[in-house]
């Protein structure tokens, strides 16, 4: 017969290997200080943004004489035709742009584009900062 100490050792030794200590540990993170500066810069940039990335439909683009008047007329006409959709008049010298909608996905913007192209055949989808959606 085998030695009883060998049998006891074979059964108890694995239990000792897998035993856990209940000592709390501490984690020390060693990183370049420039990483923290980049994180803080990222936070500052995000705080200054008005909205989130999304899509709009550009229905008008013009520069030159009377472009502001034309853009304002397009805005008023769009509000009359689509009162539930937001319209935005932007001026980035020397161009006036009229964009409509606040769409999170390109698919949603494309669906609305098909509806709008009846009245605005030269309209197209553009990536833009959109307003945050209302939470109801």
Of 112, 15, 10, 136, the residue nearest 55 (C-alpha): 112
To the question of pTM greater than 0.75 for the whole model, the response is: no
Assign residue 121 the CATH number of its domain.
3.30.70.1070
Range(s) of the domain holding residue 95:
53-130
∠ CA(99), CA(102), CA(104), 5° rounding? 130
Residues 112, 57 contacting (CB under 8 angstroms): yes
Helix, strand or coil for residue 55? strand
Q: Structural domain tally of the chain? A: 1
pLDDT confidence of residue 117: 94
Q: Is residue 116 part of a domain?
A: yes
Tens digits of pLDDT across the chain (136 residues): 567 777 766 666 665 555 566 677 888 888 898 999 999 998 888 778 778 899 999 999 999 889 999 999 999 999 999 999 999 999 998 999 999 999 999 999 999 999 999 999 999 999 999 987 777 6
pLDDT confidence of residue 29: 86
pLDDT confidence of residue 18: 58
- The position carrying tokens 């008023």 is 76
């Amino acid at each position: 017969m085998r030695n009883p100490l060998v049998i006891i050792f074979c059964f108890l030794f694995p239990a000792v290997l897998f035993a856990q200590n209940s000592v709390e540990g501490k984690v020390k993170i060693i990183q370049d200080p420039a990483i923290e500066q980049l994180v803080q810069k990222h936070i500052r940039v995000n705080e200054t943004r008005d909205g989130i990335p999304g899509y709009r439909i550009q229905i008008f683009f013009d520069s030159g004489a009377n472009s502001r008047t034309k853009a304002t007329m397009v805005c008023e006409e769009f509000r009359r035709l689509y009162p539930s959709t937001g319209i935005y008049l932007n001026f980035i010298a020397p161009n006036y742009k009229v964009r409509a909608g606040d769409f999170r996905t390109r698919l949603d913007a494309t669906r609305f584009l098909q509806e709008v192209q009846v009245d605005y055949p030269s309209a197209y989808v553009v990536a833009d900062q959109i307003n945050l959606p209302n939470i109801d």
